[in-house]
Structure 1
Amino acid sequence: MIHPTLIKKQRIVLCLLAVLIILTVMISMGIGDAALSYDRILPTLFGAGSFKESFILFSIRLPRIIITVLAGMALALSGAILQGLTRNDLADPGIIGINSGAGVAVAIFFLFYPVQSGTFVYLLPVVAFIGAFLTALLIYIFSYEKKQPLNPTRMIIIGVGFSLALSGIMIVLISSQERAKVSFIAKWLAGNIWGTDWPFILAILPWLLIFIPYALYKANRLNILALNEPVAIGVGVAVKKERLLLLFTAVALAASAVSVTGGIAFVGLMAPHIAKSLVGPRNQLFIPVAILLGGWLLLIADTIGRNLVSPDGIPAGIVVALIGAPYFMYLLLRK
């Protein structure tokens, strides 16, 4: 049973994060190359804006903001699940190669599959998932040992190796392609939010609507799996089955996010850690906090990067990396 004080603390933190997201959304809607004054945002949202104001808000700003928040939520939850499964605080879908696997699949699909506007957007998350799942499966196979089926340290090291190898494959793939396609892949690798239209929201949303409730439902299983394996077996948990289902969930969430945002790392590393420091290590408490925190972190990174340098800005992935890399080093040294 969770102490009522902790539940109250979690609700306060969730409310504060919701307010932070709303404030950041309002700021993000008002700033950019095309000006939209803050006193016109609410009238425009409720249909009283001019054609120019409506176009800026509904065709340019709002889809990008929603995509960024959803992708941040998916990456944060994916990181939280991976950290619970591996019992390693350094696990993150971007660091252990899952994002790279999704990226290679997206690159192959984009470079060699004839792009059709009607289906391309909706196939992207599926293609990214196939690449990410195959990568995760190979990492699991290579890190498997009879004495210790899931060795956290071995899995992280092998994942980093796969990430580097897949980055090399990506370079080989784009080295002989035409300039326009290479430019897109380069932006994708940098973590540039490129899926900035309403169809991309419809493409990513079903994945989150399925897997976020499932992960919350399995939060107590993650608590048990975070203990040692004999304890988990002793309380009646089908360890292998639960691990594979949760790994499947983490991969699906990461793949759906990076298919529309590009190769963004460190959100899945930072959000769970900060959430644990705020409300404690129990998954029922920190996972909802991590989800909102991930959405806010990626949104604020994209807002800063988009407006820091004109005209193209800095990709959100680079802004997150500038914050996340020192945090990663801090965790590495501390552990």
Structure 2
Amino acid sequence: MIHPALIKKQRIIFCMLIVLILLTIIIGLGIGYSSVSFDRLIPTVLGQGTFKEEFVLFSIRLPRIIIILLAGMALALSGAILQGITRNDLADPGIIGINSGAGVAIAIFFLFFPIEVGSFVYMLPLVAFVGALVTAGLIYLFSYSKTEGLQPVKLVLTGVGFSLALSGVMIVLISSAERMKVDFIAKWLSGNIWGTDWPFILALLPWLVILIPFTLYKANRLNLLGLSEQVAIGVGVSIEKERIVLLIAAVALAASAVSVTGGIAFVGLIAPHIAKALVGPRNQLFIPIAILIGGWLLLLADTIGRNLVEPAGIPAGIMVSLIGGPYFVYLLLKK
């Protein structure tokens, strides 16, 4: 049973994060290369803005902000699942190679398959999912031992090795590609948010609508998987079955996010840690908080990066890495 004081604390933090996200959205809508003054935001939303104001708000800013928010939530939830099923605080879809697998699949699809404008947006998450799933499966196999089960430290090291190897594959793929296609993949690798239109929201949203409730439903299983294998087996948990199902969910979340935002790491590492520090390690409590923190972190990184250097800005992936890189080293030394 969860103590009522913890539940109350979770609700307060949840509401505070919602307010923080709304404030960041308002700031993001109002500032930028083509700014819309804050006193014009509400009239423009209500349909009383000029053509320029409505174009900037509804065609450029708002879809980008929604996509970044959803992607950050997906990456945070993916990281929380991976950390739970591997019992490793360093697990993150970007660090252990899942994002790289999705990236290679997207590069192959983009470079060598005919692209249809109407279906391209919706095909990307599926292609990324297949690439990420194959990569995650191989990492899992290399990290698994019949005698000791899944070895958390080996999983991270194997994942880093796969990430480096897949980066090499990516370089080989783009070395002979057309200039335009190389530019797209280079932007993807740097975490430059490229899917910034309403159809990309429709491509990303169903994955979250299905997998967030599914993960919360499986929260108690994640709690048990976080214990020793003997305890989990003792209470009747089918460890490998649950791990594989949840791994597929984590891969799907990460792949759907990076298919429209590019290669972004560390969100899935940082958000669960902050959430656990705030409300404790129970998945029922910290997962909703981690989801909101992930969305806010990526939104904040993009808002800052977009306005530091005009007009192109600094990619959100680089901004997150500036925060996440030192944090990863800190965790590595601590653990």
State the TM-score, normalizing by the size of structure 2.
0.99
Match of 1:103 in 2: 103
Gaps of 5+ in 2: none
Q: Report how far residue 333 of structure 1 moved.
A: 1.0
Q: Root-mean-square deviation (CA), in Å? A: 0.6
Q: Report how far residue 143 of structure 1 moved.
A: 1.2
Question: How many Å separate the matches in 1 of 2:307 and 2:106?
Answer: 27
Asked if residue 13 in structure 1 is aligned to residue 20 in structure 2, the reply is: no
Q: Report how far residue 144 of structure 1 moved.
A: 1.4
Question: How many Å separate the matches in 2 of 1:53 and 1:264?
Answer: 30
> For structure 1, which segment, 147-156 or 294-303, has the greater mean C-alpha deviation from structure 2 after superposition?
147-156
> For structure 1, which segment, 61-70 or 113-122, has the greater mean C-alpha deviation from structure 2 after superposition?
113-122
Q: Report how far residue 240 of structure 1 moved.
A: 1.0
Match of 1:22 in 2: 22
Q: Deviations over 1:249-274 (max 9, x none)?
A: 00000000000000000000000000
Question: How many Å separate the matches in 2 of 1:292 and 1:35?
Answer: 26
Question: How many Å separate the matches in 1 of 2:227 and 2:148?
Answer: 14
Match of 2:279 in 1: 279
Secondary structure, counterpart of 1:94 in structure 2? coil
Identity of aligned residues (%): 75
- The one-letter code sitting in structure 2 at the alignment partner of 1:317 is G
Secondary structure, counterpart of 1:162 in structure 2? helix
Question: How many Å separate the matches in 1 of 2:174 and 2:288?
Answer: 39
- The one-letter code sitting in structure 2 at the alignment partner of 1:7 is I
Match of 1:220 in 2: 220
Q: How does 1:83-98 map to 2 (within 5 A)?
A: 83-98=83-98
Q: Report how far residue 35 of structure 1 moved.
A: 1.6
Q: How does 1:250-265 map to 2 (within 5 A)?
A: 250-265=250-265
- The one-letter code sitting in structure 2 at the alignment partner of 1:198 is W
Q: Report how far residue 311 of structure 1 moved.
A: 1.6
Q: Deviations over 1:28-75 (max 9, x none)?
A: 000111120000111111211111111100000000000000000000
Q: How does 1:1-335 map to 2 (within 5 A)?
A: 1-335=1-335
> For structure 1, which segment, 106-115 or 124-133, has the greater mean C-alpha deviation from structure 2 after superposition?
106-115
- The one-letter code sitting in structure 2 at the alignment partner of 1:136 is A
Question: How many Å separate the matches in 1 of 2:41 and 2:66?
Answer: 16
Question: How many Å separate the matches in 1 of 2:324 and 2:281?
Answer: 21
Question: How many Å separate the matches in 2 of 1:210 and 1:246?
Answer: 13
Question: How many Å separate the matches in 1 of 2:92 and 2:144?
Answer: 19
Secondary structure, counterpart of 2:150 in structure 1? coil
Question: How many Å separate the matches in 2 of 1:59 and 1:20?
Answer: 24
Gaps of 5+ in 1: none
Question: How many Å separate the matches in 2 of 1:242 and 1:82?
Answer: 12
Q: Report how far residue 169 of structure 1 moved.
A: 0.2
Q: Deviations over 1:290-323 (max 9, x none)?
A: 0000000000000011110012100000000000
Question: How many Å separate the matches in 1 of 2:309 and 2:46?
Answer: 31
Q: How many residues align?
A: 335
Q: Report how far residue 282 of structure 1 moved.
A: 0.5
Question: How many Å separate the matches in 2 of 1:79 and 1:201?
Answer: 21
Question: How many Å separate the matches in 2 of 1:42 and 1:2?
Answer: 41
Question: How many Å separate the matches in 2 of 1:98 and 1:42?
Answer: 40
Question: How many Å separate the matches in 1 of 2:4 and 2:140?
Answer: 38
Q: Report how far residue 149 of structure 1 moved.
A: 1.8
Question: How many Å separate the matches in 2 of 1:81 and 1:35?
Answer: 38
